[in-house]
Amino acid sequence: MEFKNVCVLKVFEPSDKMIEEVEKAAAKRDLSVDVRMAYGDCAITVISERDEVAFNDAVKDIFDICGDKLYSDAGESLAEKVVETLSAEGKTIAVAESFTGGLICSELVGVSGASAVLYEGVVTYSANAKIRRLHVKAGTLENYGAVSKQVCAEMLDGLISSRMTDFAIATTGCAGPDTDEFGTPVGRCYIGVADRESKEIHESDFDEDRNDLRRHAANTALWLLLRFAENIQK
C-alpha cells in the first residue's frame, strides 16, 4: 500500500542556501519539494509516498534547517498566524500605515476572528494626517522627513499612547517613482512594531515596483510583529 503524506511549511525570506539544504534533505529521503515565494512569504510543500514514520522524520530534518524562519507547519498565512497568536493571548493590535496604504489591515481583516484582535487601523498618508492623527511632531517631519526611523517611532507612539491596544505596527516608506525631498531612495521603508513597553524600528530596501514593494513591506510588517509578539511571550 502506498502512503501519500503532505506538509506545507511556511517560512519568511529564506536564504538561497536554506532552500538548497531543504531540497537536498528532501532528495536524500526521496521526498518531493515544491517551493513558492510571494513577497518574501515562502511556502514549502513536502510530499512523500512513504510510511508516516519515515515522512515525519524527514519533515523534522527540514524543520531544523528552517530554524526560526519557520512560522507555520500547517500552511497558514502570516495574517492568520498573527491573528491566531494574538487571539490566544487575548491581545489586540493597532496599525498605522503610510505607503502600504491599508494592505496590512486588509490582510488581517481577511482572517476569520480578526475582530477579536484588530483594534483599529489608520492610513496616515500625508504629513498633516501624521501630525493630526498620530501626534507626530512637525519638527520631526521637517528635520528627518516622513520616511525616517524617527517618524516611524512617533507613529508607533501615537498608537500605543492611548493604552487601548497591546501591540502596534507602523509603516512609512518611499514607493516611488521618484525620491522624496530628502533624497530617500525608492524602495526604502521603515517598519516599526511595539508594545506598551518597547519598540523596534527596522529599515528595509526593496528592489521592486511600487505595488510589489508595498505588498512585500506589508508581509514584512506582519512577520516582524509575529516575531516581536512571540519574543515578548518568552
How much is the pLDDT for 232? 67
Give the domains, in start order, of the chain with CATH numbers. 5-72 (3.30.70.260), 78-233 (3.90.950.20)
| Beta-carbon contacts of residue 191 (< 8 Å; ≥ 6 apart) | 152, 169, 170, 171, 201, 202, 204, 217, 220, 221, 224
Read off the pLDDT of residues 24-68 as tens digits, 9 standing for 90 and up.
988 888 888 999 999 999 999 988 877 777 788 888 899 999 999
Q: Mean pLDDT across the chain, nearest whole number?
A: 93
Read off the pLDDT of residues 205-217 as tens digits, 9 standing for 90 and up.
999 999 999 999 9
Phi-psi group of 135: left, alpha or beta (phi > 0 → left; psi -120 to 50 → alpha; rest → beta):
left
How much is the pLDDT for 233? 61
Q: What percent of the chain has pLDDT over 90?
A: 79
How much is the pLDDT for 3? 47
**What gap in Å lies between CA 171 and CA 190, rounded to an integer?**
6
Average pLDDT of span 118-139? 97
The C-alpha R_g of the chain, in whole angstroms, comes to 20
Return the residue matching grid coordinates 500605515: 97
